[in-house]
Structure 1
Amino acid sequence: MHVPSNKRGLGAGLATVLLLAGVAAFAGGGSAAADPNTTSAVSAGPAGFTQAVPAGQPSQYNQPLERCANGVNYPISGANPVLSEPATTQFASNVGLSEYVTFSGNQYYGNWQFVFTNTTSQVLSTDCAVLVFRAPSGSDNHGYTATVQYGHPQQDYLEVPRGDGTSYYIARIDFHDVPLAQRQVGPGQSFSYSLGGAPNSAITLAQMRDSLKFTADLDLKANQALVQHYGTNRLTN
């Protein structure tokens, strides 16, 4: 089962299977859209894309397959640049995805899930992908899950408070020690990014959904420029 993680790191259970009720119906525009704790789905990104295939085997840390296996903190001085960048108000992605957000919990604490579905006819590797989004401040539980019940992800992660009860969150999903196939999401398959915390009326589920920008690593450069730009921290596993 999915084991929650905190800001000190991610447990191995993050790679467990995600079986959300209504995922398939939602991707197809089913009745789940009427649920007040679930947004409608939106889509972004091109129908086709080219993604370089990394060489190497699991645990060969000098090979491209393990390019995000190890990481360090990238502290920056002064205000984080995300605070001065134009806000994303419409879901954006460099690969074809649909996305919706769901919430479970109460007025004191709950969990949000950004649920993505690969809408292309190609296999997508989510290794080294970067997510930037806005959500209630103070998340203490976050992680990645997929319909494939394998994998060993960790994160480069940062929360940047805006001062209005919400924060920007930057996360790079980093796999290690598993084959390429266990880092991939096939056509029609889903994966999610989750976080927990106290709800805040300063932002709605739809605004959370529309604030997200997803950047897949297409060129094996690991989105390194993004994590250094935002000054992320590497979480222990």
Structure 2
Amino acid sequence: MRGKSTGLGLAASLGTVTLLAGLAAFAGGSPASADPNTTTPVSAGPADFTQAVATGQPSQYNAPLERCANGTDHPLSGANPLLSEPPTTHFTSNVGLSEYVTFTGNQWYGDWNFVFTNTTSHVLSTDCAVLVFRAPSGSDDHGYTATQSYGHPQQDYLEVPRGDGTSFYVARLGFHDVPLDQRQIAPGQSFTYSLGGVPSTAISTEQIRDSLAFTADLDLKGNESLIEHYGTDRLTN
């Protein structure tokens, strides 16, 4: 169903966030170079990184494992700083990832899938990772999937319209009530962030791909300073 509000869109997408086998196979493969709706992959980030391992058990909400299970809104008193910061024009990441974007839909509505692959030799936890990117304004459906069919994701989220048919989007991925290994991406595995909305000629799929900055949570601080800086809202699932 389309035309949902942002909150309801997230509730619907994350309520059924288990990844279908077809999408899992697709996320683990390479984009078809002849497909005009699929970009070529780009890579960023160091091949070697160190990430602190969260302790605690699922549903122990005062434990580091559940540090992003709950969240609050962070309203800003003035203009969002994204509007004055230099936009990202080349995919960036603090861990080694490849990324491509594929679009499925038509001129009235479609879905952009950001497909990431862990290109390092280390297991990556995507818990509390922050994505900042630019895409057509007015997304009403957005969520996270992975090659694993579990995860119970939450999300801190914000759209910042630029007034030119595009918006900046900020999303922090958060998980709850599942073990650590169900929040992780092994070397060579993929995960996907999806955005649904109306296409705009103001931005190409390649520009959407290149606008993305990915920040993994490496120190168990939950990237809290980033989401407070950008004024995200906590959406329910």
CA separation of 1:19 and 1:44: change in aligned 2, threshold 3 A: farther
Residue 89 of structure 1 corresponds to 89
Q: Deviations 1:78-108 (Å, cap 9, x if unpaired)?
A: 1100110011000000000000000000000
| Paired AA for residue 131 in structure 2 | L
Question: d(CA) in 1 for partners of 2:161 and 2:112?
Answer: 18
Which runs of no fewer than 5 residues in structure 2 stay unpaired? Answer: none
Amino acid at match of 1:7: T
* Structure 1: gaps spanning 5 or more residues: none
SS in structure 2 opposite 1:19? helix
1:119 maps onto 2:108 in alignment = no
2:221 match:
221
**2:235 equivalent in structure 1:** 235
3-state SS, counterpart of residue 225 of structure 2 = helix
Could you list the structure 1 runs, at least 4 aligned residues long, displaced by more than 6 angstroms after superposition.
Answer: none
Question: Where does residue 133 of structure 1 map in the other structure?
Answer: 133
1:59 aligns with 2:94: no
Equivalent pair of 1:129/1:215 in contact (CA under 8 Å): yes
Q: CA deviation at 1:24?
A: 4.3
The answer to whether residue 16 in structure 2 is matched with residue 13 in structure 1 is yes
Structure 2 residue aligned with 1:38 = 38
Q: Indicate the percent of aligned positions where both proteins have the same amino acid.
A: 71
Say whether the 8 Å CA contact 1:18–1:146 is kept in structure 2: no
RMSD of the alignment, in Å? Answer: 1.5
Q: TM-score, normalised by structure 1?
A: 0.93
Displacement, 1:33? 1.6
Describe the superposition over 1:94-137 as per-residue Cα deviations: whole angstroms up to 9, x where unpaired. Answer: 00000000000000000100000000111000000000000000
Alignment check: 8 A CA contact 1:6 1:142 kept: no
* Residue 25 (structure 1) shift: 4.2
